Amino acid sequence: MKKIISLFIVLIYIFNFTSVSFAALSTDKTTSEAQALTLEAQAAILMDATTGEIIYSKNINDKHYPASITKLMTVLLCLENCEKDEIVTFSDNAVYSIEPGSSHIAIMPDEVLTVEQCLYGIMLQSANEVSNAIAEHVDGTVEKFCEHMTQRSKELGAQNTNFVNPNGLHNENHYTSAYDMALIAKELLKYPYFKEIMASTYYEIPPTNLQSEIRYLHGQNQLLKSSSIFYYEYCEGGKTGFTNEAGNTLVAYAKKGDTELISVVLQSTGYGEYTDTIALFDYGFNNYETKLISAENTLLGTVNVLEKEDDKEALDTVNGVTKENVYATIPVEYASMPIETSVNLKDSFVGNLAKGASLGTAEYSINGTSIAQAEIVSDKTVTMPEKTHLTDILPVNIKIIVIILILILIIFISALYIYRKIQKAKRRKRRRQRRAQRMKESTANQLNLQ
């Protein structure tokens, strides 16, 4: 009995602390294959890079030490705030504040590199002092840059991330989650230049102001190396990481056809970061595809534009079109099935309407399961006519008559005003004369009485 109770407790523990989930739209096949995945990593996620759909997840919100995959956020802030030909000068702090024996490319204080050279140093050699220098270049100090890193992560939706350094060297207050790192990785794909860097396995930094020899940089991501047993033909690149506390971590990108996936594994062991990543990519490509289900500017209805709420006739009509391309992550078994579209569009719009203004939404589904949503916008601008004055719509001869009448009216009012002023003055004069006459008569009466 005690053994049964103990087993029951263990099962509860596993259920509570090893949470695995799969994409919303799934099949028996996708579910069974996902359940069959056995990963070394304590936390992992597979995300569709185009739609953001989570295809597979294991403890994706648990906090873990990221190690050097931290540098993806450092690279993102660099791409958002710097041009690649900007000059970066290395400080004593950037060079000497890293742990002895940690990854570096032997930069010296006051040495100068371009931002482009720094980015290759970070992505290929995981250079910690280069990450520090980028932090100082962007925000002045490493401390301010780390605040920037955390804040930018939150803007992307990361709620379980706190960065205290730009390189991932261990700190108990430096952590992230698989989901948060996938969000950061997804944002980086907006920069084609990043994809060029992460796909590289070799780069040369020419002699600098303090270094007379070429620095040869070799990438560490085994998924990209054709000679490696972990080579993965669809891999586009990624970033590796390791510390004793974090274990092996890896963020990787892979693309097959029109489907692009992001994999994140945290707290793995041995070479588990590679085997886990390959297993996740194989699962994703074997079971799902990214499908364009509605192109940008697809017509979904029309909307009448009214000048006033109670108008019975429309001033104009606009087309309601999709704002952008609409993609969905679909199990391969569903790829050929019909997609249902439900349109929620306004009947009318009152007042000025700008091109691109929201008019409603569309929802796409398969077998009643929602797979994507789209915003519907106006395809053109409609401006209300300016209110016209009476004189603007009268013929020329009528305008002249109206002007003459207005002038006559003005003259009449002026004359009336002057006439009344004159009459008022005359009345005042008569009143003064009467008062003077009364005073004269009063004086004469007094003299007679004397």
- Out of 135-139, 195-199, 279-283, 392-396, pick the least confident: 392-396
CA atoms within 13 A on the CB side of 98: 25
pLDDT at 387: 64
Instruction: Give residue 308's pLDDT band: very low, low, confident or very high (50, 70, 90).
Output: confident
- Out of 6-20, 265-279, 281-295, pick the least confident: 6-20
Please tell me the total number of residues recorded for the chain in this structure: 450
pLDDT at 429: 78
pLDDT at 400: 77
* pLDDT at position 305 over 80: yes
Q: What are the residues facing 261 on neighbouring strands?
A: 48, 254
* pLDDT at position 9 over 60: no
Average pLDDT, the chain: 89
- If one counts every other C-beta atom within 10 angstroms of the C-beta of residue 7, the result is 10
* pLDDT at position 34 over 90: no
- Out of 61-75, 112-126, 429-443, pick the least confident: 429-443
Averaged pLDDT, 153-176:
98
pTM for the predicted model, two decimal places: 0.80
> What does the alpha-carbon distance between residue 125 and residue 138 come to, in Å, rounded to a whole number?
21
* pLDDT at position 449 over 70: no
> What does the alpha-carbon distance between residue 75 and residue 79 come to, in Å, rounded to a whole number?
6
Q: Which residue has the higher pLDDT, 303 or 394?
A: 303
Q: Domains of the chain, with CATH numbers?
A: 21-287 (3.40.710.10), 295-378 (2.60.410.10)
pLDDT at 395: 64
- Angle CA(67)–CA(71)–CA(76) in degrees, nearest 5? 150
Q: For every residue of the chain, which 3-state class applies, written as one string?
A: CHHHHHHHHHHHHHHHHCCEEECCCCCHHHHHHHHHCCCCCCEEEEEECCCCCEEEEECCCCCECCHHHHHHHHHHHHHHHCCCCCEEECCHHHHHCCCCCCCCCCCCCCCEEEHHHHHHHHHHHCCHHHHHHHHHHHHCCHHHHHHHHHHHHHHCCCCCCECCCCCCCCCCCCEECHHHHHHHHHHHCCCHHHHHHHCCCEEEECCCCCCCCCEEEECCCHHHCCCCCCCCCCEEEEEEEEECCCEEEEEEEEEECCEEEEEEEEEECCCHHHHHHHHHHHHHHHHEEEEEEECCCCEEEEEEEECCCCCCCCCEEEEEEECCCEEEEEEHHHCCCCCEEEEEECCEEECCECCCCEEEEEEEEECCEEEEEEEEEECCCECCCCCCCHHHHCCHHHHHHHHHHHHHHHHHHHHHHHHHHHHHHHHHHHHHHHHHHHHHHHHHHHHHHC
Residue found by looking up tokens 């963020």 in the block: 251
Q: Which residue has the higher pLDDT, 424 or 228?
A: 228
pLDDT at 12: 34
What is the percent of the chain where pLDDT is above 90? 71
Instruction: Give residue 3's pLDDT band: very low, low, confident or very high (50, 70, 90).
Output: very low
pLDDT at 6: 39
Instruction: Give residue 11's pLDDT band: very low, low, confident or very high (50, 70, 90).
Output: very low
pLDDT 10s digits, 211-270: 999 999 999 999 999 999 999 999 999 999 999 999 999 999 999 999 999 999 999 999
